[in-house]
Structure 1
């Protein structure tokens, strides 16, 4: 008999328990995450009643795989460009919330008498809200089109990015075991450098690779390639000294910028769900009920800290960013939970052996409690706002309204700000690329040459030539390329005292170029050779080959920008500029929402003029997306079709009424139609309608059927007349409801039994 590996047995236990709890929690309309955690508790080593995972190491492996795919899925939904779109309100609110909750968590842990490392990790655990739980709650409550929902999603984007930084910083602190300020600064700079390098390289290479091989890519190959890229980035990032979760997140965010983003996300959904379930089950396996009961008090205290702390901090942050009181309160009450990132941070502490064993089950328990209370907190927001608004002094109310209005005014960007932003972009991007190429050549290429081909001098010379050839276009863009934007020209012409700082900035670019070339040559040769080589390259060679270098850099830049914006260009069908109408400043509390027209909507086939949305509901249709076609500011003759995507402008109340029209609530599905069969009946002494006509037998209504034909004495009567009499020996062909025909046969048997008795 073949032996089944223990790994397969353990996986069967994990998925079996997850499958059962999924059905139960779906029936109870509770978040599946709680079901998975319960499943892990039942099959874990701390609950011996049920079959238990045999190998604890297996738990760690499955948890790590689950984290990788969970973070890869979050990266696919993230996109670095979302950071630009979330705006100042989400950034201010998110940073206020995270900063205060980090401090509050640390102080709470200190007050409970926990160690400094436990308190620090506790701050990270309670700082990040759950994207999964919030999105699910908004779906169930129908709030995704509310104005405050956009702010919540923006804050979640900020939280995702900060959570990644927290993983790195907590790992650094856990290893060093001390609050070394300089080490933290170096870690942040190192992380920033690698994030920029990986993003620039990934956007340039990966979309180009997918586009070149587009004819060969099927769903299967795209899924395999995506997972392979994810795992390759995980290996690269871990070798650079960061966590595997960071690598998965980065690759997901890079693929989120490609034309295949939606397809990859769709293909990855089952994989993400599978390994996400495995991760959350593994979370439950590590819970010890004895420890949980022992620390019931801290669980209750921390649950209150999360619920009250987040609701107050987020509300205050939103008010500070200029949001009205109602939207601020709704936002704060929506984010009163912790979730997936909290588990990952708690798992990090356990894996590094720097946190106490009680911290993990406490984090899980607090997550379960706050997840359960989330829908109730969201529902409570509006009634609470009305109560506060009634009792709020008129002076305070006017101050909040005036502050909200003043912070949402458009601030003009002056010329110096534009020029400094341009200089910063040029310096940072090109410096990161140059340093990345130098490190690649000196740390990998040079040792490879030495081992396999040449001695030290020749290998160093060839490495220098290769590195200089690769960095020259970026070096030219960094040091020599002319910056002649409108703001730069304005500053140069308008005021003479502007020219001094501009000249100094240009000189700084040249000096930075010399330093970077010297950095390369110094790693291969002596400092003197490095200095002379750098000066000659920057001052002599680059100006001579300016035309060629300009063409090369232009091709690189064009390819990068095309890859970066290809997804948006495809979505708008080349009409990017026309979409600006939907991005204009909106009056009062009106905002943009998106709806998909349900096939059950009464609007189908009617024109906008006939529907009169503006007159009836006060909303305006800014855009209709129909497949790959976009209709901007549609006219009255445009008709509404099923699955049209409408971009609508209105207030919360107007949009709520409008949603009932274009996307009515789902009604209970109609019962399945009866199964229609063709049945052969023999007319004998048991036939209940022997001697009766088809009409008098009422067989049509009894079976919801139809007499197709009768075979009588070798002759076939098709579509017999209703007056035809059933005679003994007839073979009747009846088409009708399977169940009703069966009941007819049972009725015939009952008649026979009655006659016999």
Structure 2
């Protein structure tokens, strides 16, 4: 009997074959690969009959769902909650204003076009994010990645990613319940925030510790299997408690992003993610119906107009409100006027849940295709648009914007009261979340287990005592840690006017402790009089065992902080070890004074043409010509007889160059104290840290321009490159030996907090 090849294998071969062809074409025409995958999906889908089509669409949908999981898991690996905290107020305010306005306007435009309520809501959702891929590509092509506004744009994209994830959860909840009540939505948001906090706090406390305990077994294969298992486990948990599988994948990715294995996991997962993500976008393309797109061509044009002008306007407005100058606000706004890859995921979510119309996805594809091509032109047009606004807007309005921007930029953020209030809010929020999570766990699992073995009263009493015992360190922590107590004590004695607010803060903490004890009690008993007993007992226990609870809480807190910062701690140790191991190389690079021979054959020839950097691996730090000193001469500078020059290099390189000068003419090293008194050249070695995005992945030329100096060597992974080219990209952990004017180099190092 003839054995037939399973349809799944045939379909997979067809999908990947056509996908490979479209990938090559779109790489050749320099367009986003996502659009290529979608077109491949259309070609193998039911609406294109000129080549073989996918036979079993149901199997492809399952693979596509796995693709979404890996896409969101990978996004979580690239994301970091610490990165979100470091985004800054400007990007956060801009993103939130833009998202709130465009989502709202998208809903009302959908209603104006006569769409159903869910179609209108999902339209707003798919407009919420811009395309990171398209923006980065456009910035690269136009050479704008170093511009100040580009950092704001990248910060906005980070905030958009997390907000869109939350939007997807909200849309899923609304789609399932078909309820739009404001109270219910607020309840869902609170529930979402609570579970996000619990998963993150618990994950950071447990997972890095677990990975450290088995690190000797973690080769690439084991790490890949383990990370996928953790991802799918969190997907199952998220689905079980009523959230989307996308949220579960993203949360686990963001937890693993804080471990030392993040890059390794991302690298080993890359091929798996690419395979399933390709199938996902191909499956989306299979939904494209050209007839439907033609039928809704006006909707595509209206939504395109809304995307370009709405996102441009609202992002610029958000940037202005955050205190950005008019020019920078216009540049930011015109960079964000497109929809991103998340739009396809949101549109696909609506279709998979069966709550949106079939035409919504083709509309998203059409809008994405148009805005992909318009983005570079809009970015290039930002300067002329700014000039037009600057000329035509009322002078009073422009002065108001400038004054507001200047005032916002100079607001002093830090003061002692702000520190106390922030610490109080964080303390109350984090410990309350942990206590509520402990109570929910014991009530839903431990209590149910005890019901099968003891009486109702005994089960409730035992569970309450266990809950209060486990929660005791966190209840005591609500009083405040040592740092907070020391700060409060200083304020108390500093001024009598500080005492009333301090008493208010202490009272608030005490109310929280009492409220949480009552909350725990009422989860297991309903008597209103008897609640006084556990309150009195627990407060007494908290007081007499405070040292013990402090010790337990410190252990838990220190473990969590170490797990959260483990990557930075290990990186710092590596950098310190590298600095110590290669100190000799640094000491061997120095500046030596020489004199140009009187009859040298290179007199009057530009330094660029002499090409001594390539021939001898040296640099010229300065030229002293009589009373005149030329610091950091450029390639057009020339040498004259008897010029004194400062040569930068190692002993061997300087010796080789000195021998060359001796062959040309009599020349001896000079080291006059008089010349050194007037020369302000210095040499220093800096390391590029992880927390300075302005420098990371810039080129050497940018570093030279920023400090007006010379990068004489670059050390990476123990290998030293002398006189690196201007276009060499700087990476975190690189050591740069820089020669520059003392004052300018000191300012450069201080500005970027380099070591």
Specify if TM > 0.5. yes
**1:473 Cα deviation from its structure 2 partner:** 1.4
Deviations 1:242-273 (A, max 9, x none): 11111111111111111222222222222222
Work out whether residues 419 and 488 of structure 1, in 8 Å CA contact, stay in contact via their aligned partners in 2. Answer: yes
**CA 1:132/1:638 → structure 2, altered by over 3 Å: closer, same or farther?**
closer
Q: Residues 15 and 420 from structure 1, CA distance in 2 versus in 1: closer, same or farther, beyond 3 angstroms?
A: same
What is residue 508 of structure 2 aligned with on the other side?
A: 508
- 1:639 equivalenced with 2:639 (yes/no): no
SS at match of 2:687: strand
Q: Which whole-Å CA distance do the structure 2 matches of 1:82 and 1:462 have between them? A: 42
Counterpart mapping for 1:197-236 below 5 A: 197-236=198-237
Residue 153 of structure 2 is matched in structure 1 by 152
Aligned length: 626
Cα distance in 2 for partners of 1:134, 1:121 equals 23
State the Cα distance separating 1:558 from its structure 2 match.
0.6
Match of 1:24 in 2: 25
1:548 counterpart residue number: 548
In the TM superposition, 1:456-471 aligns within 5 A as: 456=456, 459-471=459-471
The equivalences for 1:311-710 within 5 A come to: 311-389=312-390, 396-451=397-452, 454=454, 456=456, 459-479=459-479, 484-485=484-485, 487-527=487-527, 531-573=531-573, 609=621, 624-625=686-687, 639-641=712-714, 661-663=726-728
Render the CA deviation track for 1:323-380: whole Å, top value 9, x for unaligned: 2333222211211111221112212222222221111111121112112222222233
* TM-score calculated relative to the size of structure 2: 0.76
Structure 1, 479-488 or 554-563: larger mean CA deviation: 479-488
Aligned partners of 2:620 and 2:632 also within 8 Å: no
CA separation of 1:322 and 1:621: change in aligned 2, threshold 3 A: farther
Q: 1:626 to 1:186 in 2, by over 3 A?
A: closer
The 3 A distance-change label for structure 1 pair 385 and 11 is same
Task: Provide the C-alpha distance between the structure 2 equivalents of 1:317 and 1:496, rounded to a whole number of angstroms.
Answer: 41
Q: Is the 8 A contact 2:621 2:632 kept in 1?
A: no
> Residues 425 and 661 from structure 1, CA distance in 2 versus in 1: closer, same or farther, beyond 3 angstroms?
same
Shift of 1:419: 1.7
Q: Residue 171 of structure 1 aligns with which residue?
A: 172
Preserved CA contact (<8 Å) 1:343 1:364: yes
Contact preservation (8 Å) 2:712, 2:724: no
2:8 aligns to what?
Answer: 7
- Residue 59 of structure 1: CA displacement? 3.4
Using the TM superposition, give the Cα deviation of residue 490 of structure 1 relative to its aligned residue in structure 2, in angstroms: 3.9
Partner residue of 2:602? none
Q: Structure 2 vs 1, CA of residues 572 and 408 (structure 1 numbering), >3 Å: closer, same or farther?
A: farther
C-alpha deviation, 1:628, in angstroms: 11
Residue 639 of structure 1 aligns to a residue in which SS?
Answer: strand
CA distance in 2, matches of 1:305, 1:102: 11
RMSD of Structure 2 on Structure 1 (CA): 3.5
Quickly say closer, same or farther: Cα 1:274–1:602, change in 2 above 3 A: farther
Shift of the alpha carbon at 1:405?
A: 2.4
Q: Which ranges in structure 1 are unaligned for 5 or more consecutive residues? A: 577-600, 646-657, 665-757
Structure-2 residue corresponding to 1:290 = 291
TM-aligned CA distance change 1:324 to 1:497, over 3 Å: closer
Distance (Å, rounded) in 2 between the aligned partners of 1:187 and 1:629: 35
What is the alpha-carbon distance in structure 2 between the residues aligned to residue 659 and residue 378 of structure 1? Answer: 32
Q: Distance in 2 between matches of 1:615 and 1:432?
A: 61
**1:519·1:530 contact (CA, 8 Å) conserved in 2?**
no
d(CA) in 1 for partners of 2:632 and 2:119? 56
Distance of 2:141 and 2:219 partners within structure 1: 34
| CA 1:488–1:289: 2 relative to 1, 3 Å | same
- Per the TM alignment, residue 34 of structure 1 is displaced from its structure 2 partner at its CA by 0.7
* 1:693-713 residue CA offsets vs partner (Å, 9 max, x unmatched): xxxxxxxxxxxxxxxxxxxxx
User: 2-side partners of 1:567 and 1:190: how far apart?
Assistant: 30
- CA 1:312 to 1:603, structure 2 compared with 1: closer, same or farther past 3 Å? farther
2:308–2:371: 8 Å Cα contact kept in structure 1?
Answer: yes
TM-score by length of 1: 0.76
Match of 1:306 in 2: 307
Following TM superposition, by how much is the alpha carbon of 1:159 offset from its aligned partner in structure 2, in angstroms? 0.7
- 2:650 corresponds to: none
CA distance change for structure 1 residues 37 and 500 in 2, over 3 Å: closer, same or farther?
same
Distance, in Å, in 1 between the alignment partners of 2:615 and 2:517 is 66
The residue that corresponds to 1:254 in the other structure is 255
